């Protein structure tokens, strides 16, 4: 064992260790599974995720660091890790039927989903620049492959290449910013960076570093003007991967952004607050207005996810405990409603129908009332209509903005969510108020049914009784930057 | 008692769940029965709760039912609480009572729908009622907002119920979009209130407000209340957001009755009443409310004068009557406004259901030019309709007289002579267009050509096309019973508010007053509750005496004037539309510009289209879609399409090109931000 590591680290890193072991098992099991038994791999993957969730929950009460201070083990990390595991599980559940239609071999698919999850977990827990970067790369590379997973499908390939090239470009920018931070502070540990940089907030190089880091992360969360890849990639990727990308990758990037800004660069708050204020306004506005004219639902949801990134950025602008709490709440709610909406779309995929055009939803209510009901709940929630969870999330974000004095930001947010309803309701119109095009019916597999049921139930229950989630998020947000080391240094 | 309140919205919600999930397997009798029973149960619980409420002393008439703590974060807590006080109790009774009758009426009216559609209809109807009850019973803004949004959504579903009819789907969409504008203002107002008072509970806000003095200039309270009022103009169809309501006629007729009479549109008036203490602090807002209300009343009244669709005339009369209610709110006569809301619920529901019976009998005909002489064939409908028309016209002795008179008197007594004059003119218009409707529909003779045009007028009722005008069926029992009950209500409902000038006790005002100016037990006595707005000074507990001494003779005079106005209006209608119809046509021909402007509703829809709708569409399509999206991003999609067709070279070109464009946009974005810091 290298110096500085202890047996205790093995316990603290248990979630990552379990997941890593599990993903290797899935990869090996794929070799020994016949074509007819491939669906067992899906359930094995679910098993791995459940096994990962157990130590996450068990360790959620800690507030310490592991691996010589590279990773934090705290409530904040645990909250996000649970979110990733959940999103990954829903992705796996809605994937099987979709992959069968696409005639793709699922083995390495599940492996890659788990790899991406591992990367996300490192992003949420890392408190060291290099560690965060490695987490980000692990996730990003997995997604590059997953996006292009449908080898015969050219849209999918094109999306993967586009994502890869632009991803590499933005990572270069991010890395440049990180290296500046390192150069100015002489350390890669975020909490030491914070101390070292506390006195030089006027340095122009540091401002440049903040801008570059912000730009690199803004690419990952698909904030305007770094969003252009999102609609193409979301449309081209396999639908379950689009779901995972728009929820998991976004949440992980927000977690990493919070770590970077609040743990490493709190001294620069005036700079990045203003920066993200502008990004938030642009993302909300451009995302929503561009979504209005989309005829392809995946594309529309891509623009809507850009707009949602804008809403969530409001929490960063406030940078108050309530703002961060609201971000956590919103990301969790967003995970359910967004994954659910893509789950319904994945359900519509058939051999001869892509199923992601608005007209493919025509008369869904008459074909599959329950699926249409689920989609109705997700659309209303995304639009922020009470009593769904989406309303609670928005209410909390906007009231956090008001509390922090950003009244106009809240007003712009409210105005945007009013605009957004237009295109969400259009989906409802197609499902409930249009004649169906053809009578062919889609039968959801048990996996899809479970995933959609969970997502619908969560969206409604959190909307009606959000208190437990609020409490959990509040407790988790409090632990950010609260590790003992920082307290002693300040 | 404390846990009973939640049952009131719960019953219809359960009805909704049953019908939406099991409806396709249920027969019409069962699904309709469940929906009606749910409403009846709500009504009974509401009635019992109200009865126990009334047993209490007048300053202790508040009952809370906290279901659970909804949002908790440190010191900031929002419970999910239902609250019954006199104002809420009155609203609950109206919503469930009139709502039940409308449900009952629908059982027959919708019987031609298939089983699944029938259940879908009743599920929406129940959900609508449930949300309305949440709105009314909510003890804080957040609970109210749940209901507020919910009724908006349900109205959208109900108006667009016959979505195969394009106009119905469009009307539903319009209602939804217009309501969103109002909701936007409402949420911002809510967030401001939260920031200012640190709570969203209505009573706590009222207590806080009681400590403040009225704003002389335009301050935060004025802004807040103005935002709430904009929200109210959306829900309650006032200028400038009234345009959705007349189009909402595209829904089934009972839905129009429900939306117009008992629910939805009254939400805005109710919300202002609920926050009377807050509004009293903002005289500027109050003036805006009064002026907008009066202007809406007049404008809608003039439009109603020339419309030819029976439901459309009623729709504009609703807009006009709502204007009266806002006028009342604006001059500080909160009890008067709510009183009118309550009487209006009876006669407007009656008129709509009556028009439904006419449309039903004529198999979908809605154009009054194709009607006439129906009083012989439809006696029940005729007599109940006439009672409704007399009530809305303000003929003495019927409910509308008392409530309208109360509003006009308060306006006059508050010194708003101009508003009173406009209100009186509107009252004349009301009587005229209502009796124009009565005379054209039920009197005279049905035009020869009417039989042939009947079938493409509406579309919903196509059964037995061979009926001649002589074999029209009057309302069947389940439709007739609600009509008769509502007619009785339209006559007697006003007697709870007989003014002091006529020797009555105006019990409703005394009953409602504690809701408008709630007094905390521990609040300082000199807090000046109910003061504030200059015109409302004569308001509150001591006002009856003040009225009795100074105002009785004025009030009696005004009563005489408004009675005279009502009778004049009816007389005018009888001249123009009963005895000498050619006179009406001649007048229209002599004033073609005026007539056309009114017929086209002042071209407001066209103006909105030109100034708001089209520019937004154009921006979205041309600027964002054509350049940003189509130019850069869509290039890829088209490229992909070309690829599928086998044109690999084209794709490679557009693909690499676009990636460069994207990368450049990232790079330029960074440069811009860095440049900003350098320049700064």
Instruction: Choose the closest CB to B153 out of A292, A385, A470.
Output: A385
Report the pLDDT value the prediction gives residue B619, as an integer from 0 to 100: 64
Cβ–Cβ gap A204/B619 under 8 Å: no
Residue in chain B lying closest to A209 (CA): B674
Percent of chain A with pLDDT over 70: 94
A424 touches B: beta carbon within 8 Å: no
Q: What pLDDT does residue A352 have?
A: 65
What tens digit of pLDDT does each residue of A444-480 get?
A: 888 889 999 999 999 999 988 888 899 899 899 988 8
Instruction: For residue A173, list chain B residues with Cβ-Cβ distance below 8 A.
Output: 666, 670
pLDDT score at B539: 41
Residue A417 lies in a domain: yes
**Paired tokens of A196:** 């070292």
Q: Is the pLDDT of residue B653 over 70?
A: no
Chain B, nearest residue to A296 by Cα: B637
Q: Tell me which chain A residues have a C-beta less than 8 angstroms from the C-beta of B169.
A: 429, 433
- CB contact residues (below 8 A), chain A span 150-209, against chain B: 154-155, 158, 161-162, 165-166, 169-170, 173, 204, 207-208
Torsional class of B444: left (φ above 0), alpha (ψ -120 to 50), beta (otherwise) = left
pLDDT one-digit tens code per residue, A42-56 = 899 999 999 999 999
Residue A259 lies in a domain: yes
**pLDDT, position B656:** 44
Say how far apart CA B62 and CA B514 lie, in whole Å: 9
CA dist A363 and A360 (Å) reads 9
Q: Given this model, what pLDDT does residue A112 score?
A: 94
pLDDT at B506 over 70: yes
User: Is residue B150 within 8 angstroms of chain A, CB to CB?
Assistant: yes
With CB atoms and an 8 Å threshold, state whether A322 touches B628.
Answer: no
Give me the mean pLDDT over the B524-534 stretch. 38
Query: Chain-wide mean pLDDT for chain B?
Result: 79
Instruction: List the single range of B296-300, B447-451, B512-516, B651-655 with lowest mean pLDDT.
Output: B651-655
Please report the pLDDT score of residue A99 as a whole number.
85
* pLDDT score, position A304: 93
Query: Is the ipTM reported for this complex over the cut 0.85?
Result: no
What's residue B548's pLDDT?
46
pLDDT at A317 over 90: yes
Chosen for mutation from A227, A425, A433, A470 (greatest number of chain B CBs closer than 10 Å) is A433
- Report the range of poorest mean pLDDT among A394-408, B534-548, B648-662: B534-548
Q: Provide the pLDDT for residue A259.
A: 93
pLDDT over 90 (residue A88): yes
Whether omega for the bond prior to residue A384 falls within 30 degrees of 0, making it cis, is no
Which A residues in the span 325-344 are in contact with B, Cβ-Cβ below 8 Å? 325
Q: pLDDT tens digit string along B365-423?
A: 888 888 878 888 888 889 999 999 999 988 888 888 888 888 988 898 888 889 999 99
> Given an 8 Å threshold on Cβ–Cβ distance, is B640 in contact with A429?
no
CA-to-CA distance for B241 and A391, rounded, in angstroms?
A: 24
Mean pLDDT of the region B54-82: 81
Partners of residue A165 in chain B, C-beta under 8 Å: 659, 663
pLDDT score recorded for residue B537:
39
Per-residue pLDDT at B617: 64
Nearest CA in chain A to B666: A226
Query: A127 near A192, Cβ under 8 Å?
Result: no
- Burial class of residue B610, CB neighbours in 10 A (0-12, 13-18, 19+): exposed
CB contact under 8 A, A226 and B669: yes
Most confident range (mean pLDDT) of A272-286, B140-154, B174-188 is A272-286
Give the per-residue pLDDT at B647: 37
Q: Average pLDDT of chain A?
A: 87
The residue with greater pLDDT, B660 or B211, is: B211
Our count of domains for chain A comes to: 1
Q: Say yes or no: B674 contacts chain A, CB-CB below 8 A.
A: yes
pLDDT above 70 (res B454): no
Question: Which of A13-17, A320-324, B589-593 bottoms out in mean pLDDT, i.e. has the lowest?
Answer: B589-593
Mean pLDDT in residue range B562-582: 83
Using an 8 Å CB-CB cutoff, list chain B residues near A236.
Answer: 640
**Which pLDDT score is estimated for A260?**
93
Is A432 in Cβ contact with B157 (below 8 Å)?
yes
Predicted confidence at residue B493, as pLDDT, reads 86
- Amino acid A18: pLDDT: 95
Q: How far is Cα of residue B100 from the mean position of the Cα atoms in its chain?
A: 18
Regarding pTM above 0.90, the answer is no
Chain B partners within 8 Å of A402 (Cβ): 191-192, 194-195
Digit-coded pLDDT (tens) for B188-234 = 888 888 888 888 899 888 888 888 888 777 888 899 999 999 999 98
Domain membership flag for residue A2: no
- Chain B residues with CB under 8 Å of A467 CB are 68-72
Share of chain B above pLDDT 90, in %: 20
Chain B partners within 8 Å of A161 (Cβ):
655, 659
The 8 Å CB, 24+ separation contacts for A53-61 are A53/A82, A53/A85, A54/A18, A55/A14, A55/A15, A55/A18, A56/A15, A56/A81, A56/A82, A56/A85, A57/A82, A58/A14, A59/A11, A59/A12, A59/A14, A59/A15, A60/A476
Out of A17-26, A436-445, B114-123, B595-604, the most confident range is A17-26
Kindly state whether residue A385 falls inside one of the protein's structural domains. yes
End-to-end CA, chain A: 32
Residue A484 lies in a domain: yes
Can you tell me the mean pLDDT for B105-112?
A: 86
* Residues of B (44-83) whose Cβ lies below 8 Å from A: 68-73
- The answer to whether the beta carbons of residues B351 and B390 sit under 8 Å apart is no
Q: What is the mean pLDDT of residues B245-263?
A: 81
User: Given this model, what pLDDT does residue B534 score?
Assistant: 39
3-state secondary structure of B10: helix
Q: Is residue A323 part of a domain?
A: yes
Range of the domain at A425: 7-488
Residues above pLDDT 70, as percent of chain B: 82
Q: Is B548 on the interface with A (CB under 8 A)?
A: no
H helix or E strand, kind and range, residue B341:
helix B334-361
In the predicted structure, residue B48 carries a pLDDT above the cut 50: yes
Q: Residue A239 and residue A356: Cα distance in Å, rounded?
A: 9
The answer to whether residue A1 is domain-embedded is: no
* Confidence bin at A484 (pLDDT 50/70/90): very low
Most A CBs within 10 Å, among B668, B670, B671, to test the A interface:
B670
The answer on pLDDT for A334 being more than 90 is yes
The predicted pLDDT at position B209 comes to 84
* Burial class of A186 by CB neighbour count within 10 A (0 to 12, 13 to 18, 19+): exposed
| Statement: residue B165 has pLDDT above 80 | no
Question: Does A185 fall in a domain?
Answer: yes
Determine the distance in angstroms separating the CA of A321 from the nearest CA of chain B, rounded to an integer: 11
pLDDT of residue B618: 65
Interchain pair A467, B72: CB under 8 A: yes
Please give the helix or strand (H or E) that residue B67 lies within, else none. Answer: strand B63-73
The pLDDT of residue A337: 95
Q: What is the pLDDT of residue A250?
A: 95
Cβ contacts below 8 Å, chain A against chain B, sum to 157
Task: Taking each helix axis as running N to C, give the angle between helix A107-125 and helix A129-147, from 0 to 180 degrees, rounded to the nearest 10.
Answer: 160
């Amino acid at each position: 064992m290298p110096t500085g590591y202890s047996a205790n680290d093995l316990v603290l890193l248990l979630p990552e260790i379990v997941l890593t072991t599990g993903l290797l098992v899935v990869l090996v099991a794929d070799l020994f599974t016949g074509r007819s038994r491939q669906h067992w791999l899906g359930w094995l993957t679910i098993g791995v995720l459940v096994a990962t969730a157990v130590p996450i929950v068990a360790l959620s009460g800690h507030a310490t660091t592991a691996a010589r201070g590279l990773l934090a083990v705290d409530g904040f990390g645990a909250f996000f890790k649970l979110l990733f595991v959940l999103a990954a599980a829903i992705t796996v559940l809605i994937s099987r039927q979709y992959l069968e239609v696409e005639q793709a071999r699922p083995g390495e698919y599940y492996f890659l989903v788990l790899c991406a999850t591992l990367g996300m977990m490192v992003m949420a827990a890392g408190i060291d620049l290099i560690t965060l970067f490695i987490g980000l790369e692990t996730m990003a590379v997995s997604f590059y492959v997953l996006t292009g997973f449908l080898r015969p499908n050219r849209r999918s390939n094109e999306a993967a290449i586009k994502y890869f090239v632009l991803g590499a470009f933005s990572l270069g920018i991010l890395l440049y910013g990180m290296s500046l931070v390192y150069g100015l502070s002489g350390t890669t540990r975020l909490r030491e960076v914070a101390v070292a940089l506390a006195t030089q907030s006027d340095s122009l190089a540091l401002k440049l570093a903040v801008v570059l880091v912000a730009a690199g992360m803004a690419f990952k969360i698909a904030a305007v003007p770094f969003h252009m890849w999102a609609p193409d990639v979301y449309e081209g990727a396999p639908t379950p991967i689009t779901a995972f990308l728009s929820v998991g990758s976004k949440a992980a990037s927000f977690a990493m952004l919070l770590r970077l800004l609040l743990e490493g660069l709190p001294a620069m708050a005036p700079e990045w607050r203003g920066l993200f204020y502008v990004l938030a306004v642009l993302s909300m506005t451009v995302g929503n207005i561009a979504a209005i004219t989309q005829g392809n639902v995946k594309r529309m949801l891509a623009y809507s996810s850009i707009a949602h990134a804008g809403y969530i950025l409001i929490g960063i602008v406030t940078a108050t405990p309530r703002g961060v709490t609201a971000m956590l709440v919103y990301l969790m709610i967003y995970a359910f409603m967004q994954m659910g909406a893509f789950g319904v779309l994945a359900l519509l995929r058939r051999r001869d129908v892509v199923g992601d055009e608005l007209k493919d939803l025509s008369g869904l209510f008459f074909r599959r009332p329950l699926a249409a009901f689920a989609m109705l709940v997700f659309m209303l929630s995304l639009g922020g209509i009470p009593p769904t969870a989406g309303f609670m999330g928005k209410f909390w974000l906007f009231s956090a903005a008001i509390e922090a004095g950003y009244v106009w930001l809240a007003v712009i947010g409210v105005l945007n969510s009013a605009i957004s309803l237009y295109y969400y309701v259009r989906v409802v119109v197609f499902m409930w108020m249009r004649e169906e095009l053809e009578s062919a019916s889609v039968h959801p597999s048990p996996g899809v049914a479970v995933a959609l049921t969970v997502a619908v139930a969560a969206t409604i229950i959190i909307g009606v009784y959000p208190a437990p989630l609020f409490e959990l998020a509040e407790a988790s947000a409090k632990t950010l930057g609260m590790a003992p080391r920082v307290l002693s240094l300040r | 008692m404390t846990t009973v309140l939640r049952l009131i919205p719960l019953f219809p919600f359960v009805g909704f769940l049953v019908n939406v999930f099991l409806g396709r397997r249920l027969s019409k009798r069962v699904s309709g029965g469940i929906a009606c029973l749910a409403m009846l149960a709500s009504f009974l619980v509401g009635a019992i709760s109200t009865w126990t409420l009334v047993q209490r002393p007048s300053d202790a008439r508040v009952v809370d039912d906290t279901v659970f703590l909804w949002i908790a974060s440190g010191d900031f807590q929002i419970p999910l609480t239902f609250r019954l006080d006199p104002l809420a109790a009155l609203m609950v009774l109206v919503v469930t009572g009139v709502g039940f009758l409308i449900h009952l009426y629908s059982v027959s009216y919708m019987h031609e729908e298939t089983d699944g559609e029938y259940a879908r209809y009743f599920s929406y109807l129940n959900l609508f009622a449930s949300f309305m009850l949440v709105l009314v019973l909510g003890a804080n803004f957040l609970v109210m907002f749940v209901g507020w949004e919910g009724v908006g959504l349900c109205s959208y579903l109900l108006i667009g119920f016959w979505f195969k009819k394009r106009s119905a789907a469009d009307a539903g969409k319009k209602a939804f979009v217009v309501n969103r504008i109002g909701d936007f203002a409402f949420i911002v107002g809510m967030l401001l209130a939260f920031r200012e008072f640190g709570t969203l509970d209505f009573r706590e806000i009222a207590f806080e407000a009681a400590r403040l003095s009225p704003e002389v200039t335009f301050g935060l309270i004025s802004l807040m209340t103005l935002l709430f009022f904009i929200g109210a103009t959306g829900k309650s169809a006032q200028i400038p957001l009234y345009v959705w309501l007349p189009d909402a006629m595209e829904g089934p007729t009972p839905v129009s009755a429900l939306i117009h009479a008992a629910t939805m549109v009254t939400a805005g008036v109710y919300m202002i009443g609920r926050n009377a203490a807050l509004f009293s602090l903002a005289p500027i807002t109050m003036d805006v409310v009064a002026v907008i209300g009066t202007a809406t009343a007049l404008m809608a009244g003039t439009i109603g004068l020339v419309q030819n669709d029976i439901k459309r005339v009623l729709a504009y009369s609703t807009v006009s009557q709502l204007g009266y209610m806002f006028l009342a709110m604006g001059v500080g006569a909160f009890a008067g406004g709510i009183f009118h809301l309550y009487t209006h619920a009876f006669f407007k529901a009656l008129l709509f259901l009556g028009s439904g019976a006419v449309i039903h009998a004529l198999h979908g005909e809605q154009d009054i030019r194709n009607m006439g002489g129906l009083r012989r064939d439809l006696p029940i409908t005729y007599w109940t309709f006439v009672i409704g028309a007399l009530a809305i016209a303000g003929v003495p002795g019927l409910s509308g007289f008392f409530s309208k008179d109360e509003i006009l008197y308060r306006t006059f007594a508050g010194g708003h002579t101009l508003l009173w004059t406009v209100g009186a003119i509107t009252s004349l218009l009301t009587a005229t267009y209502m009796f124009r409707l009565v005379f054209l529909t039920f009197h005279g003779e049905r035009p020869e050509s009417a039989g042939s045009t009947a079938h493409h007028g509406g579309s919903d009722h196509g059964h037995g096309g061979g009926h001649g005008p002589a074999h029209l069926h009057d309302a069947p029992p389940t439709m007739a019973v609600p009509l008769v009950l509502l007619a009785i209500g339209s006559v007697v409902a006003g007697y709870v508010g007989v003014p002091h000038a006529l020797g009555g006790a105006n019990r409703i005002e005394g009953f409602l007053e504690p809701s408008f100016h709630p007094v905390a037990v521990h609040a300082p006595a000199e807090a000046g509750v109910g003061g504030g707005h200059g015109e409302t000074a004569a308001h509150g507990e001591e006002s009856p005496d003040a009225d009795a001494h100074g105002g009785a003779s004025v009030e009696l005079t005004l009563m005489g004037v408004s009675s005279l106005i009502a009778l004049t209006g009816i007389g005018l209608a009888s001249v123009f539309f009963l005895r000498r119809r050619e006179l009406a046509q001649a007048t229209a021909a002599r004033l073609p510009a005026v007539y056309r402007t009114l017929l086209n509703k002042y071209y407001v829809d066209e103006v909105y289209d030109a100034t708001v709708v089209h520019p937004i569409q154009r921006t979205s399509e041309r600027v964002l879609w054509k350049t940003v999206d189509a130019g850069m991003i869509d290039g890829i999609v088209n490229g992909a399409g070309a690829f599928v067709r086998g044109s690999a070279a084209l794709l490679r070109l557009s693909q690499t090109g676009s990636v460069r464009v994207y990368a450049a946009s990232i790079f330029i974005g960074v440069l811009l931000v860095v440049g900003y810091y350098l320049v700064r």
